[in-house]
Amino acid sequence: MKNLAFWLGFASCASFLGGPAAAKDITVGLSGTVTSVDPHFYNASPNNSIAMQIFDRLTERTAEGQLVEGLATKWEAVSDTKWRFTLRDGVKWHDGKPFTADDVVFTLGRAGKVPNSPGGFGGFIRNVASVKADGDLSVIIDTKSPAPTLPGDLANMAIVSRHAGEGADTADYNSGKAAIGTGPFRFSTFKQGIEVGLERNPDWWGKKVAWEHATYRMISSASARTTAILAGDVDIIDAPAATDIARFKSTATLSFVSTPGLRVIYLAPTTSGETWKANVKGPNGEALETNPLADPRVRTALSVAINREGIVDKIMEGTATASGQWLPKGAFSYTDDIQPPKPDAAAAKKLLADAGFPNGFQLTVHVPNDRYPNAPAVVQAVAQMWTRIGVKTNVESLPWTTFSSRKSDFAMKLLGLGNATYDASSMLVNVLGTVDPQRGLGAANDSGYSNPALDDLVAKAMTIYDDKAREAALVEAVKVAVNDGAIIPLYQQSNAWVARKGLSYAPRIDERTLVKDIAE
């Protein structure tokens, strides 16, 4: 991440004031829905927030995004295609058994192959050719091609135990049977859509955490989270409503912190397959033989019809930044060459006509109603803008659990991506990569987008060890994707938390709420 000093300074200035230690239990009001305790089932922020309490990773990220030691205390490139990771000695699983290199071998063999995953972790290990234990405390990872970003990729990979995980499925993790980690908290309870309960692991190798018990309550409604924190029913909430921020700042019993975030909110058009037909019709409701969204001119028309600044100002109320790409300014592979498109209805109509749709068409857009702040209102605003250029747009809102399991059925949908690689590759590999499990591409691509030339460009970029040259290659790939209208970026979210006075939490640019790092 470039301009790291900015991130560090911002987070430092935003920190809560600390207080004396007291309570042993803490309750979090979580805006997102945790769909599984299986740490390899779904690469979604709410799931990851829980996984990061129960399981550790070889490498970790600080609140500001700096890569630091985790279960690995050292990593080195032995050659262009070989890495050695030295493991932390003395670490034990929650059941008391020792953590060894064999657990890492098992994890990297499992992580990309979880059945029914709506968006897994295979992209992070796409370049791994083999993993071998070299004694109990060393792992050798051979890669298919040079992999300079492997240590950072592995910061997304929860390490699970072979003895608990071999033969286990996602249900076994959800029940707690296989949820045996090395992390600061042990699994206690999981009620899907309701709450997750955790108990402190007194034998954790890291710094002592402040809480005996932690409860994550899933509260999708922003107003309900506001009520809960004001009433003292929870100790901390994430994603506070923009309309309540002034109130939180003026409430003596509460503290508010925020930081620029990595998450981009974007619209994803389905460009191939047959699923679009149920949600795209001709201007009079007739069936279409050709998918309008398959034409880059149509996708560009839809993009330039959107007033991003208006959405950020009026709906997000300044808690987001309009964007024409998927990284915030200052991030590795962000480019000043791509700015948010200026809204231009006339240009949009001309593009539609040039693409063969002078009278527009009808479109249904799907949006989760309990995942991203103000998302349904944002899509309603976009729908009005598209209707003005002749694309009569209907909006359907769904709960996240339903939405996430049906994403591939939709013609156009609103999604968010947390850019977990801290560069452009997360989107390029997982969302825009042609679906190809053998190459580790397209793990979260449910829109059918495919651009082989872009895939090759990204593959080449990710083999470059020189940071400056790799960044230039990634920027080139970003430009190709944006010019093709592969997705329609809208804005970058800010990340914010509200807590009872006296709690201390450094705001994370990856938006995760980790009770292990909350102090009192």
**Per-residue DSSP letters for 441-461?**
B-TT--S----HHHHHHHHHH
The domains of the chain are located at 4-238+502-517, 261-493
- Rounded Cα distance between 386 and 288, Å, is 19
Give the length of the chain.
520
Copy the structure tokens of residue 257: 């912190």
CB 235 within 8 A of CB 500: yes
Q: Where are the beta strands (DSSP E) in 270-315?
A: 280-281
Which residues, in sequence order, are CB contacts of 332 under 8 Å at separation 6+?
A: 1, 2, 422, 423, 424, 467, 471, 474
At residue 509's C-alpha, the angle toward residues 507 and 512, to 5°, is 70
CATH homologous superfamily, domain 261-493: Dipeptide-binding Protein; Domain 3 (3.10.105.10)
Residue type, 444: A
Residue type, 250: S
Residue 70 C-beta-side C-alpha neighbours within 13 Å:
25
C-alpha 214: how far from chain center? 23
Where b means 16+ CB within 10 Å and e means fewer, 480-510 reads bbbebbbbbbbbbbbbbbbbbebbbbbbbbb
| Whole-number pLDDT of residue 318 | 85
| Whole-number pLDDT of residue 440 | 87
CATH topology of domain 4-238+502-517: D-Maltodextrin-Binding Protein; domain 2 (3.40.190)
- Rounded Cα distance between 2 and 25, Å, is 37
Whole-Å CA distances, 303 to 135, 381, 390: 54, 13, 14
pTM: 0.84
- Rounded Cα distance between 121 and 108, Å, is 10
From first to last of its 520 residues, the chain has per-residue pLDDT tens of 444 333 333 333 444 444 444 449 999 999 999 999 999 999 999 999 999 999 999 999 999 999 999 999 999 999 999 999 999 999 999 999 999 999 999 999 999 999 999 988 999 999 999 999 999 999 999 999 999 999 999 999 999 999 999 999 999 999 999 999 999 999 999 999 999 999 999 999 999 999 999 999 999 999 999 999 999 999 999 999 999 999 999 999 999 999 999 999 999 999 999 999 999 999 999 999 999 999 999 999 999 999 999 999 999 998 999 999 999 999 999 999 999 999 999 999 999 999 999 999 999 999 999 999 999 999 999 999 999 999 999 999 999 999 999 999 999 999 999 999 999 999 999 999 999 988 889 999 999 999 999 999 999 999 999 999 999 999 999 999 999 999 999 999 999 999 999 999 999 999 999 999 999 9
Question: DSSP assignment, residue 119?
Answer: B
Whole-Å CA distances, 394 to 289, 365, 381, 408: 20, 6, 11, 18
Phi and psi angles of residue 127, each rounded to the nearest 5 degrees, phi first: -95, 0
- Rounded Cα distance between 177 and 196, Å, is 15
- Rounded Cα distance between 345 and 353, Å, is 12
CB 175 within 8 A of CB 193: no
3-state secondary structure of 468: helix
- Rounded Cα distance between 249 and 206, Å, is 33
Could you tell me whether strands 25-30 and 213-218 are parallel, antiparallel, or unpaired per DSSP bridges? parallel
Helix or strand run (H / E) with residue 395? strand 391-398
- Rounded Cα distance between 229 and 499, Å, is 7
Q: Where are the beta strands (DSSP E) in 43-93?
A: 59-61, 67-69, 72-79, 82-87
- Rounded Cα distance between 4 and 12, Å, is 12
Is 6 buried (19+), middle (13-18) or exposed (0-12) by CB count in 10 A?
middle
Where b means 16+ CB within 10 Å and e means fewer, 262-278 reads bbbbbbbbbbeeebbee
Find where tokens 């709450």 sit: 195
Whole-Å CA distances, 423 to 64, 95, 445: 14, 37, 18
